[in-house]
Amino acid sequence: MKFIPWKKKFLNSGLLYVILDETVIKEADRDIFSLADKLSFYGVDILQLRAKNIDGKNLLQLARNLAIIIHRRRKLFIVNDMVDIAYLANADGLHVGGNDLPVKEARKILGKKRIIGKTVHSQVELESFQKEEVDYLSIGPVFNTEIKPSLAPLGEEKLKNILSKAKKLTFAIGGINLNNINILAAVGIKNIAFCRAALTKNLKNTIGEFRQCLKKAS
């Protein structure tokens, strides 16, 4: 497979990253394929499949179909947690958490050409994870989020402090929407990841406003 040249894209700021949470999308009675296509068309740079309640066979088929849709728009496709699914579905990369497959082991499977990202919840984790062979870090949750309700929000100031020590490409994540994006832009956040904000009725407008706010921070 010939991968999309992501390293050049990662030099940009103002990147938009959407988490396609299969459960959340299903609960909202939305079609994940149609949503992925619209998000890609409207300019989202990276889309990640997060599916915790699907068996391996169906998850692989879902991931392969999403990869086709997203790659058709020349966007990047990431799979959450499952390195085998990421590899077999021709995803551009994998996203892992602190308790998932070690990055070193994932890199052996995926090689150097694919992306590996990791979630950071604290300054301590940042210092540890930056030593690993990751291409980007998602830092959060910045605000309260229903996706991970057990995690206390960092808030914009703590996020800013963590980002000041970051040496990798970073994304702010967690509860980000049109009501708080200006707060993040004001403290210099340049890239964001979001989930539920992708389910808004006026998707084109939401993505456009996110872009405008991030431009101010760049």
Helix (H, G, I), strand (E, B) or coil at 121: coil
Residue 76 has pLDDT above 90, yes or no: yes
User: Which one has a higher pLDDT value, 188 or 136?
Assistant: 136
List strand residue ranges (DSSP E) for 14-98, in order. Answer: 16-21, 46-50, 76-80, 93-96
Percent of the chain surpassing pLDDT 70: 99
Question: Is 1 part of any domain?
Answer: no
Residue 110 has pLDDT above 80, yes or no: yes
Condensed to tens digits (0 to 9), the pLDDT of residues 127-178 reads 999 999 999 999 999 998 877 777 889 988 888 889 889 999 999 999 999 9
Q: Span 79-98, mean pLDDT?
A: 96
Question: Is 2 part of any domain?
Answer: no
Question: Is 6 part of any domain?
Answer: no
Global confidence as pTM: 0.94
Task: Output the CA–CA distances (angstroms, integers) from residue 12 to 38, 191, 204, 218, in the order listed.
Answer: 22, 9, 21, 10
- Contact, 117 vs 93, CB < 8 A? yes
Question: Is 83 part of any domain?
Answer: yes
pLDDT at 159: 87
pLDDT at 217: 73
Question: Is 7 part of any domain?
Answer: no
Listed range (76-80, 87-91, 132-136, 160-164) with the worst mean pLDDT: 160-164
Question: Is 102 part of any domain?
Answer: yes
Question: Is 5 part of any domain?
Answer: no
pLDDT at 13: 83
pLDDT at 31: 98
pLDDT at 2: 64
**Closest C-alpha among 168, 194, 183, 193 to residue 216:** 183
CATH at 39: 3.20.20.70
- Contact, 176 vs 184, CB < 8 A? yes
Residue ranges making up the domain that contains 30:
13-217
Question: Is 184 part of any domain?
Answer: yes
Number of domains in the chain: 1
186-208 in b/e burial notation, b at 16+ Cβ within 10 A?
A: eeebbbbbbbbbbbeeebeebbe
